[in-house]
Structure 1
Amino acid sequence: MPDTQFWWLIAFPIFFGLGWLAARVDIKHVLSETRSLPASYFKGLNFLLNGETNRAVEVYVDIARHHAETVELQFTLGHLFRRRGELERAIRMHQKLLARRDLADTQRQQAQFELAQDFMKAGLFDRAEAILTELANTDYARQARTELLAVYQQEKDWHKAIETARQLRDDSHNYQHEIAQFYCELAVQAHTRSHTDEARAYLQQALEANRQCARARLLLADIADAAGDKQGAIEQWLLLENQDPLYLALAARALLNAYDALEQHEQGLTLLLRLLQQYPELDVLDLAYERILAQQGLDAAYAFVRERMKTHPTMPSLRKVLEAHMLVAPDDQKVELEIIVKLLNDTTREQSMYFCNHCGFKAKQYFWHCPACTEWEVFAPVRGRKNRLHQTESY
């Protein structure tokens, strides 16, 4: 027992000394690494932290020029050039990196991927596609396929887009909505060429990919309507009620016209009013008012919008009540009513716009593919509905 205590007394100072020595070595290593960095590196970092990107780029370009071994710094610069829209400089930077023989495989793949993004940003999709295809069997395979999907959509190569989307499927995203939309795009192309059977086949594939694809159902109805099959078109439109009834608003006028062509005016209006009653958010109030006014007269139309205002008080309902009231009001009240309606329309202008629920983009027409964020099926088929505060410019 005394011997054991004696050895601990000797060992403890030894262990302490080894720990102190290791710490000194680590500190010296850190200090040497810090001293090896150019002082201007920290100057550039300070510019970045202060949001002075232009000055930071100037500093780092100078560092890269005099310290060719700074691979990561050159990647950072290439990324900054691309973000600033200096695509030629970004391309040159990444091509210069690829020309180096001392790059590791992962660095070379990264340089290829960055260069492909430069080409995409510059609109050189064929060159981007060639590089991204080379990365198919590397660590950048998934990222490359994601970018390839964007390329194929830009080029409207929907067959390749479908194949790539299927390769990207995983538990986090099955791409069923996108694949269905790609088939719809193929159907539109086929229908434009008067290849009706081919268009229908694509739309059936769209519904197989996504049974709830409202666009496929709408296109099937449009094809039947264009061929003069009014009853078939009506049947297709009415199937939307089992998918998403709110999309019926996009076809409501064509649906009523089909009933008119079959001389079933009352049936069409009855259906419209039933849908509006059953689905209060259905964006067909204007059309219902217009039809009642034409078929049943002003008193019936005015009574309809007043009742609608009581049961579903919304700004569109209020506008419609005021518009109807202007038609029945005495002449001496019409000037004031016109001013009120104009002010109401000005202050509720956004109620007449469609909104992208992904990025907030707003537009007067409905889009299946958002022009701003390029996401699919992100516009609600109800004007004025939005989930985000941020909005981009409309057109």
Structure 2
Amino acid sequence: MAFDLSWLLWALPLAFALGWLASRFDLRQWRLEGRQVPRAYFRGLNHLLNEQQDQAIDAFIEAVRHDPDAAELHFALGGLFRRRGDYDRAVRVHEHLLARADLPARERERAQHALAFDFLKAGLLDRAEAAFTALLGTRYDTDARIALLGIYERSRDWARAAEMAERLEGSDRGSFRLRLAHHRCEQAAALRQQGRTAEALALLESLVAHVPESARAWVALAEVRESLGELEGALAALEALATHCPAHVPLIAHSLAQWSLRVGSAERARQPLAAWAAQHEPSLDVTQALATLEPDAQRGRRHYLEHLRAEPSLVAATLWLAGVPLGSADEEALVRRALERAGEPLKRYRCAACGFESRQYFWHCPGCQGWDTYPPRRVEEL
């Protein structure tokens, strides 16, 4: 049987035509998808610039569907989820990136860094600690150590916090000496609660020798010495604070006055406090301490008058009126109660970072978790 080759004359052109049509279809599809991804991406960027996070997230989700291998889109989407507080979805996005075997090492570190902050923002401190620990030794090493330092502080693991602060001291992120001093003071406080006062004393004495600019260290050292009955040593610590940290003298004015009276030497406190008052703006605490050092109440009230001449103060006026009869006993009680109530909010301390107010002076703000954010002056004096 003879083989008829005539059909090849029809089959070859037909196959060529079908192949050409298939290639054109694929090319058009590729171009269409290529146009859709940038449009979705730029639409999301536009929403983001207009602070429309929900619309931006929808646009980026669409872009990721068309190009699931685009790492930048995943990072943008994960960042938006985190900013909106949708931490579960942010974690899933960044974990999806880490699961990709073809992700370059640099992008993998970036994804690990983003995932660690997802956990931190979500309050999952144990998972955040593990994620940041995995970044040690990478290009995110310093950022990871600072984040770990914050985690240790929030969990009140002061030993590890102090160790991390010591390692960060040589970094390019500034000095961590004062922050380290706070960690050591917290450790000393814990030792005192455990009855290990001698160890706390040794720790604080070493601390003030290495970080003399830490006001808290001197205050803590003075308190430990006073609890042990070493009033002379306690007064010496307060006097050292006045030398190294003069801005914090109002915090120790009352203790300095009381302890000086207990050792029978009011002049020991009067001289440094009077010298401080002459060189600085009026301080309610210093004025009140100077008044308590006077043997005569009338002479003590003069300090409040001097304060009022330099700076109008409702609290100082209330203290001055403490020795003045205001009428009958019932009337006097009403007036004094009203004055004290009006002046009470003015006696508080206010965080300079977040505005959190408290009657107690905090070295570590309960509101913003910042160290040394409280000025050592009352609200009325700010």
TM-score, with structure 1 as normaliser: 0.76
* Residue 205 of structure 2: aligned partner: 204
For 2:183, the aligned partner's letter is F
Distance 1:242 1:186 in 2: 25
- Alpha-carbon distance in 2 for matches of 1:385, 1:138: 48
Does residue 356 of structure 2 align to residue 353 of structure 1? no
Q: Where do residues 104-183 of structure 1 align in structure 2 (5 Å cutoff)?
A: 104-168=104-168, 169-171=170-172, 173-183=174-184
Q: 1-side partners of 2:33 and 2:209: how far apart?
A: 59
- Partners of 1:244 and 1:194 lie apart in 2 by 29
- Equivalent pair of 1:353/1:365 in contact (CA under 8 Å): yes
1: CA distance between counterparts of 2:307 and 2:381?
23
Pairing 1:237–2:238 present: yes
| Amino acid corresponding to residue 288 of structure 1 in structure 2 | A
| Alpha-carbon distance between aligned partners in 2 of 1:185 and 1:46, rounded to the nearest angstrom | 49
- Counterpart AA for 1:237: L
Between stretches 279-288 and 375-384, larger displacement belongs to 279-288
Q: 2 CA distance for matches of 1:221 and 1:292?
A: 20
Q: How do 1:291-310 residues align onto structure 2 when only pairs under 5 Å count?
A: 291=292, 295-297=295-297, 299-310=298-309
Distance 1:386 1:41, change over 3 A: farther
Tell me what 1:27 maps to: none
User: Partner of 2:61 in structure 1?
Assistant: 61
Q: Deviations over 1:130-161 (max 9, x none)?
A: 22222112122122112111122122222322
Which residue of the partner structure matches residue 13 of structure 1? none
Aligned to 2:89: 89
Report the CA distance shift for 1:306/1:172 in structure 2 as closer, same or farther (over 3 A).
same
Q: For structure 1, which segment, 215-224 or 197-206, has the greater mean C-alpha deviation from structure 2 after superposition?
A: 197-206
Residue 35 of structure 1: aligned partner = 35
Give me the CA root mean square deviation.
Answer: 3.5
Q: How far did 1:227 drift?
A: 1.5
**Greater Rg by CA:** 2
SS state at 1:251 partner: helix
- Cα pair distance change 1:197/1:366, threshold 3 Å: same
Query: Cα–Cα, structure 1 residues 172 and 356, in superposed 2: closer, same or farther, change >3 Å?
Result: same
Contact 2:238 2:252 in 1 (8 A): yes
Give the secondary structure class of the aligned counterpart of 1:371: coil
Structure 2 counterpart of 1:324: 320
Query: Do structure 1's residue 194 and structure 2's residue 195 form an aligned pair?
Result: yes
Amino acid at match of 2:369: T
Q: From the superposition, tell whether residues 138 and 55 of structure 1 become closer, same or farther in structure 2 (CA, over 3 Å).
A: same
CA distance in 1, matches of 2:281, 2:292: 18
For residue 366 of structure 2, what is the amino acid of its counterpart?
P
How far does residue 41 in structure 1 lie from its aligned partner after superposition?
2.5
1:376 to 358, 371, 377: 371
CA distance in structure 1 between the partners assigned to 2:287 and 2:275 by the alignment? 15
CA deviations over 1:145-199 (Å, ceiling 9, x no partner): 1211112212222232223223322355131111122111111111111112221
Please identify, of 245-254 and 140-149, the stretch whose mean Cα deviation from structure 2 is larger.
245-254
CA distance 1:210–1:341, shift in 2 (3 Å): same
How far the C-alpha of 1:233 sits from its partner, in A, is 1.4
Assess, with a 3 A threshold, how the Cα gap between structure 1 residues 283 and 214 changes in structure 2: closer, same or farther: farther
Q: Is the Cα–Cα contact under 8 Å of residues 78 and 94 in structure 1 kept in the other structure? A: yes
Q: 1:79 to 1:307 in 2, by over 3 A?
A: same
Q: 1:73 to 1:246 in 2, by over 3 A?
A: same
1:171 and 1:137 map into 2 onto residues whose CA distance is 16
Q: Is the 8 A contact 2:215 2:248 kept in 1?
A: yes
Stretch of structure 1 that moved more, 61-70 or 73-82: 61-70
* Corresponding residue for residue 218 of structure 2: 217
User: Hey, what's the Cα distance between the residues in 2 that align with 1:211 and 1:262?
Assistant: 25
Task: Classify 1:34/1:341 alpha carbon distance in 2 versus 1 (closer, same or farther; 3 Å).
Answer: farther
Q: 2: distance between equivalents of 1:258 and 1:342?
A: 32
Q: After the TM superposition, which of the residue ranges 129-138 and 370-379 deviates more from structure 2?
A: 370-379
Count of matched residue pairs: 350
Structure 2 length as normaliser, TM-score? 0.78
Q: Quick check: 1:276–1:284 contact (8 Å CA) kept in 2?
A: no
> How far apart are the structure 1 equivalents of 2:303 and 2:337?
19
- C-alpha change, 1:248 and 1:36, in structure 2 (3 Å) is same
Cross-structure match for 2:11: none
Distance 1:33 1:65 in 2: 10
How far did 1:285 drift? 4.5
Q: Please say if 1:227 is aligned against 2:253.
A: no
When residues 326 and 129 of structure 1 are mapped into structure 2, their CA distance, relative to the original with a 3 A threshold, is: closer
Q: Decide whether the 8 Å contact of 1:48 with 1:56 is kept in 2.
A: yes
1:320: Cα distance to partner? 2.0
| Unmatched segments (≥5 aa) in structure 1 | 1-30, 388-395
Q: How many angstroms does 1:239 deviate by?
A: 1.5
Any gaps of 5 or more consecutive residues in structure 2? 1-30
